[in-house]
Chain A
Amino acid sequence: MADLLKVSDLETQFRTREGVVHAVNGVSFDLKEGETLGIVGESGCGKSVTVMSVLRLIPTPPGKIVAGEAIFRGKDLLKMSDEEIRHIRGAQISMVFQDPMTSFNPVLTIGRQVAEPLEIHQGMNRRQAYDRVTEMLDLVGIPKSRDRLNDYPHQFSGGMRQRVMIAMSLVCNPSILIADEPTTALDVTIQAQIIELIKELRDKLGMAIIWITHDLGVIAGLADRVLVMYGGYFIETAPVKSLYATPTHPYTLGLINSLPRVDSDVQCRLESIDGLPPILMEKPNNCPFAPRCTYVKERCYQENPMLMETSEDHFTACWVDTLTGKERA
């Protein structure tokens, strides 16, 4: 299938008082029509900045996209005019954010907020838009949706709000939905419901999804392909089965070992990765994970490994073969 979105060498930095933060350091990925891509990584590794750069939603200043391109349906999102990208946001690529409590405007009704993309991108008037909004709210499972159009966000529970947020992002039938940790702020049972809902909607509407999370468990059943991010780099990318069956990067191994397993016979302790993720004030000459890595070799401190194909369609940025513990040839 054709590439819907092709991001290459994307680099985003923040100029802060303390210096330049290299948040995203030349990442590339592509997304096919209807595909679901998972991006995993610890807090602060650059997941949000990556996707927000694609839609140019980075606050500038201090943020700046310094290099790269993002080709969407043949046009570079990073080069088009402000007006052009505005017509893509919410219409063809839309976002769902982490915190449904703060992501709605508290002084506008739900109806108005959900209808807004329709009014902007499809020129609907309020009445037409509200009909469509009602349909959409029904679809995401808001009971008595017509009566709730004039309610304000604070009158909904967290889970319900996230459903409304999903309805709002899908109301114009976008071809890409970017979900930035949409379940992190919700409690566990609600999380599962939201994930089920998104799966259902994906089957019905067929949009491609970029799903950001720091929980490998969540995307196991959801994604086609997973990108593991660390310190502003993708350090392992693979189809979901391959990643779980044969994780190759020490960091991914650590992430997977820190997941509780139900199929394990023996009671074993969950492992954790020692140390903190880096905030990069300059581009490193070494592997950014080296200080926390248990497989670390001399070379890891001398050269930063780039992604290399270790098996079919499975890429890893590591000098060490974690199966044998030896340096790669």
Chain B
Amino acid sequence: MGRFILRRFMYMNVVILVVSMITFGLMHAVPGGPFDREKALPAEIIANLEKRYNLDKPLWQQYLMYLNDVFIPQFSKTAPTSNLEDDALITFKVSGNLWVRWMNFGPTFSSRSRTVNDIFRQQLPISIQLGILALTVALTIGVPLGILAALKQNTIFDYLGMSIAIFGVSVPVIVLGPLMIWIFGVTLKWLPPTGWGTKPPYILGIFPSDLSWSFWRTAIMPAVALGLGSSAIIARLTRASLLQVIREDYIRTARSKGVKESHVITRHALKNSLIPVVTILGPMMAALVTGTFVTELTFGIPGMGKYFVTSITNRDYPVIMGTILLYAVFLVVANLIVDIMYAYLDPRIRYD
């Protein structure tokens, strides 16, 4: 297993490299540039700006410079400054006066006082938190609902559960979100209609360090709104898979041994039926974390979504590159976790 994980990390480097190449290429292939305005700026100013951000250099040179800044750890004898050009995501002291700076994602064109790393430190964690919570919602609703529907196949529970599931997939966040805000936030006043209840610093750069009731109060509506559609997918998959497993020979064997009906499900059927569910968690997790834009907009959450979307229309090259690369890392890691869980669930799968 250790070897497998190592291999996957090496493979991740390749993926990231390829993704960076494609993104870089596409980004520059699209017409328009970061400094195009409705009223065109004077040519000298544009030339100046381009010079400042190295956009006047040939593309291959820009690309290599980017790779160097982001991928290669930079050693230096001077302590990091608060200079914007000096802002690396990972900075630490090796010894006496040797410092390492790694992953300098560069400036953002849309603000003179912030770097891409500032966005990663302040906005990205919120989107990841929202994505993880939405996945949790999807699982805690989807799996039990699927099991219930399968066990009570063709009864009112089954039909009701699957109707909820269809409702879940077909109602988009843009409808569900405002509806929830109106009911629970405005009319009943149970929950704050907008906002997000945590602030940096975050543990490991992701997890809130100040968990409190007020956090959950702000998180619950957006997490449900974002996760409900996925919970429906999980419910349907769980149901189908459990129905299939119940017909397997080994379930008959279990019954023939005198295993209690409840244990036939919990001990013999459940683990087998969750295997297909686990396989979709990787892509689903990625989709939830990267798909927070509408939810964040609806609930006024200061997450990554807005920056990601506007960076594309604004041709904010460093933000586009950085976000896509981080999402790619995230996707690969999520799939790695899924593969590890998969091996744990199914002993027939061995990776080395």
Contact = CB atoms under 8 A, between A and B. Distances in A.
B255 interface: yes
Interface in B251-292: 252-261, 267-268, 271-272
Contacts of A189: none
Interface in A102-127: 102-108, 116-117, 120-121
B250 A105 contact: yes
For chain A, give the interface size range: 20 to 34
B347 interface: yes
Interface centre among B255, B260, B346, by most chain A C-beta atoms within 10 angstroms, is B255
Contacts of B250: 102-106
Nearest to B245: A105
A99 B249 contact: yes
B209 to A, nearest CB: 38
B210 interface: no
A120 B268 contact: no
Contact of B346 (A91, A103, A107): A107
Nearest to A114: B257
A89 B248 contact: no
Given A107-B272, A108-B268, A102 B257 contact: no
A7 to B, nearest CB: 17
Label chain B's interface by main secondary structure: helix
B260 A86 contact: yes
Q: Specify which of B247, B248, B252 lies most central, judged by the most chain A CB atoms within 10 Å of its CB.
A: B252
Interface string A88-107: 11110011010100111111
A116 B347 contact: no
A107 B249 contact: no
A57 B257 contact: no
A16 to B, nearest CB: 15
B348 interface: yes
Contact of B272 (A59, A89, A105): A105
Given A57-B252, A105-B254, A117-B258, 14 more contacts: A57-B255, A86-B259, A88-B258, A89-B258, A90-B256, A90-B259, A103-B250, A105-B253, A106-B272, A107-B347, A116-B254, A116-B257, A121-B258, A168-B257
11 contacts: A57-B252, A88-B258, A89-B255, A90-B258, A94-B256, A102-B249, A102-B250, A103-B252, A106-B346, A116-B254, A117-B258
Interface of A: 55, 57, 59, 82, 86-91, 94-95, 97, 99, 102-108, 116-117, 120-121, 152, 154, 168
